[in-house]
Structure 1
Amino acid sequence: MYNYGGTLATENIDEDKDKYAEFMRRVEAGEKIEADDWMPKEYRETLIKLISMHGISEIMGALPEKEWVPKAPTLKRKLGIMAKVQDEMGHGQLLLRVAEDLMKPYGKTRENLMEDLLNGDLKFHNVFHMPTKTWADAGMVGWLVDGAAIISQTNMLDASYGPYQRALKRICQEEVFHAQHGEAIIMALAEGTEEQRKILQESLNRWWPSLLMFFGPESASTTGSSKQEVTTKYRIRKSSNEELRQAFLDKYLPRVFSLGLTVPDETVHYDETKGHWLYQQPDWNEFKQIISNKGPRSKERLRLREIAYENNRWVRQALAPQVVVS
C-alpha cells in the first residue's frame, strides 16, 4: 500500500516551489487543506498512511470487544458493548472514506485498503492484536485503550487536513462515551468481590506493556522513520510519541493507584525534578513483531475480517456502477 507508483503532475517540489511555498504558508497560518487542493506528495502519502491505519484500527479494534457481546454479564452490559462495537465500525468507515478521497489520484479505493490489510501491507494498532481473556479486559479496552486513543486523537483535532480534522471531532466526542463505558465496568469490578478485583489486576498486568506501546517508540531513530517529524512539520499533529505517553501516564496513573491497583513495573514513579513519570520502556522488538501480524490474536482477527470481506462481496458487486451496453 505504501508504494503507489506513478506520479502526480504537481508532486515535484522543485518544479512547483511556488505552489509548495503557498501550501506551507496556508498550513502555518492555520488554514485547512481540502481534498481538491494542491498538496505535495509527501503530505498526501503521509495522510494516506496515517488515516488508513487509523480507520483499519477502528474496524479491527471492534473485534476484541465483539467477542464479549454474547458473554457480557447482564443485558445492560450487552447493549452497551454492542453499541460501542457499532460506533467503532462507523468510525472506521468514516475514516476510510477520508483516505479514499486522498487516494483518487492513484486510482485506489477502500477495497484496495482492505486487500492491503489482508495481505499484510496495511498495519493496525498493536493493542488490537491482543486477547481479551476476561470481562475485565473488555473494561480495560474501553477505559485505558480508548483513553489512550482520545489523547492521541485530540492531539490532531486542529490537523491541517480539513476532512480528517472534522472526522476526528466527531470521533473524539463518541470516544469519550466509550471511555466512560469502560470506566463503569472497571469501577464495578474494583468495588466488587476479592475475586473480581483479582481479575481486574490480572487484566491490567496483561495490558500494561501494550498500553505503553500504544503511542509508538520515543524517537524516530528507534524504527528508522521520520514520521513524527513529517506530521509535525505539516501541522497534522502537535506532540511527539513520548509527550503523548507522558500525558497518558499523567492522567491515568493517579486513577489506577486510587483504585488500589498496581502496574507491573516497580520503576514507575513521579520524578519531581524532571516533572514527569519515569517507567521501564516496553520491548520495542516485540512491538515490531506484533504490528507485523505476529501478535497473540493477529491471525484469528485477520481471518475474521477476511471471512466478512468475502461473505459480503456480493453486496459490493450489487452496489457497483453498472456498465450499460448500447
Structure 2
Amino acid sequence: MYGGGYIYDEPNKRPLAEQLAEDPDKLAAFEARIAKGEKIEPGDWMPSEYRRQLIRLIEQHAHSEIIGALPEGTWITRAPGFKRKLALIAKVQDEIGHGQLLYNAAETLGKSREAMINDLLSGKSKYSNVFNYPAETWADVAVIGFLIDAAAIVNQVANAKGSYGPYCRALERICYEESFHLKQGHDAFIELATGTPAQKTMVQEALNRWWQPIMHFFGPPDKTSSHSEKLMQWKVKMASNDDMRNQFLDMYVPKIWELGLSLPDPLLRKNEAGKWEYTDPDWDEFFRVINGEGPCNEERLRVRKWAEENGRWVRKALMQPSDKKSFPVA
C-alpha cells in the first residue's frame, strides 16, 4: 500500500566518491547490465551503496505496510455496515501480508528481519510520514483508502520496473492487490462526497486535514537530494520525487474537483507546460514527523512494541523442533 519511493535516509558519513570506490571492472559490468534492463539477483555482485540503499528502501516500505494498517485497523469495528467491515478486514490483512513479502525481499540483501524490526522499534529505521496522523472519522479512512493508496500505487508501479529482482517481483503481486484496495477507498470516498450535506462536509474536512501529509508523501523536492542521480541510474529509484508528485496530482486532482470538493491550496493549478504549481508544503513539519514528533509517532511504535513483545512466545514456539511423540496418532 504505502511507501516504496522516497528513502528516509540518514546522513552517510563517507563521501560519495568513497562509497562508490568499487572494483571498476565489476562496477562497469554491473551498470551495463542495468542499462540493458537486466535484473540484479541476490547472488550477483553489486556495489555496497546499491545494497545499502535497497535495504533502506525495502525495509522502510515493509515498515510502512505494517504501520499503515494501524489507523485503518482501529476502524474495523466502527466501519458503517457489515460490507465495509469485511472489506476493511480484508484490506488490513493484505497490508500485513505485503509487509511480510517486503521483509523477505530485504532479507535477500543480507539484513535479518530481527535487525529490521529492532531498527524500527528503536527509531533508527523510518516509515512513511502519513501514518503518524490520526484517522479521526470514517471520512479519514476513505481519504486514506483512495488518495494515499493512489499515491502509493504511483510509487509502486514505477519501482516494479526497477533493477532488483526480488523487490520487483514482490511489487508485481502487491500492485495487483492494491488495485482492489484503491477501488474500495474510491467507493467509500464517492459515497461520502455524493451523500448528505453532513457526509460531504465530513469528507471535505478530512481532505483538508490530509492534504499536506499527502503532498509530503513523495518526499522533499528533487533539488534537496544529493544522491538521486546515482540511485536513478542504478534503477533503485525509477522516478524523481517531483515527477511522482506531479503524476499523482495529474491523475487525482481533477477527480476531486469533479466531485465538487476543494483542496486547501489556493495556488494549486496546472501551468502551460503541463506541470502542477502548488504551495510548497511545510517541510519543517515533514522532518519533525519523520524524526518522531508527529501526533501519532509514539502511539504507532507503542503498538508495534506491544505486538513484538506479546508475540514472542508464538515465534519461539514455531522455532522449536517438532516432537512427534507429543502428538500420537489415534
Normalised TM-score (structure 1): 0.91
Give the partner amino acid of 1:232.
M
User: For the Cα contact (< 8 Å) 1:142–1:183, is it kept in 2?
Assistant: yes
Q: Does 1:121 align with 2:124?
A: yes
Counterpart for residue 312 of structure 2 = 313
* 1:125-204 pair list within 5 angstroms: 125-204=128-207
Distance 1:216 1:12 in 2: 23
Structure 2: which amino acid aligns with 1:239?
A
Alpha-carbon shift at residue 20 of structure 1 (Å): 1.2
Contact 1:126 1:287 in 2 (8 A): yes
RMSD: 1.9
Whole-angstrom distance in 1 between the partners of 2:229 and 2:275: 22
Post-superposition offset of 1:13 = 5.9
Partner residue, 2:62? 55
Q: How does 1:1-326 map to 2 (within 5 A)?
A: 14=21, 16-103=23-110, 108-221=111-224, 225-272=225-272, 274-320=273-319
Quick one: distance in 2 between partners of 1:209 and 1:15? 41
User: Which deviations, in whole Å up to 9, do the C-alpha atoms of 1:217-272 show, x marking residues without a partner?
Assistant: 11252xxx434223201012321100000000000000000000000011111212
Q: 1:60 touches 1:301 (CA, 8 Å); kept in 2?
A: yes
Alpha-carbon separation, structure 2, partners of 1:271 and 1:13: 39
Is contact 1:155–1:239 with CA below 8 Å preserved after alignment?
yes
Moved over 3 A (4+): 11-15
SS at match of 1:155: helix
CA contact (8 A) 1:72 1:78 kept: yes
CA distance in 2, matches of 1:205, 1:254: 16
Identity %: 50
Distance 1:267 1:166, change over 3 A: same
Q: Which residue type is aligned with residue 149 of structure 1?
A: A
**Where in structure 2 are there 5+ consecutive unaligned residues?**
1-7, 11-17, 322-330
Q: Deviations over 1:36-68 (max 9, x none)?
A: 111110110010000000010000000010010
For the residues of structure 1 that align with 2:88 and 2:184, how far apart are their CA atoms? Answer: 8
**Separation (CA, whole Å) in 2 of partners of 1:185 and 1:15:** 51
Please state whether the residue corresponding to 2:198 is helix, strand or coil.
helix
Distance in 1 of aligned mates of 2:134 and 2:223: 28
Greater CA deviation, 17-26 or 226-235? 226-235
Deviation at 1:94, TM superposition (A): 0.4
* Amino acid in structure 2 at the alignment position of 1:128: F
**Partner SS for 1:102:** coil
Inter-partner Cα distance in structure 2 for 1:253 and 1:74:
29
Q: 1:140·1:182 contact (CA, 8 Å) conserved in 2?
A: yes
In 2, distance between residues paired with 1:249 and 1:89? 28
Report SS of the residue matched to 2:109: helix
The 8 Å contact of residues 193 and 200 in structure 2, kept in 1 or not, is answered as yes
Unaligned runs of 5+ in 1: 4-10
- The number of equivalent residue pairs is 308
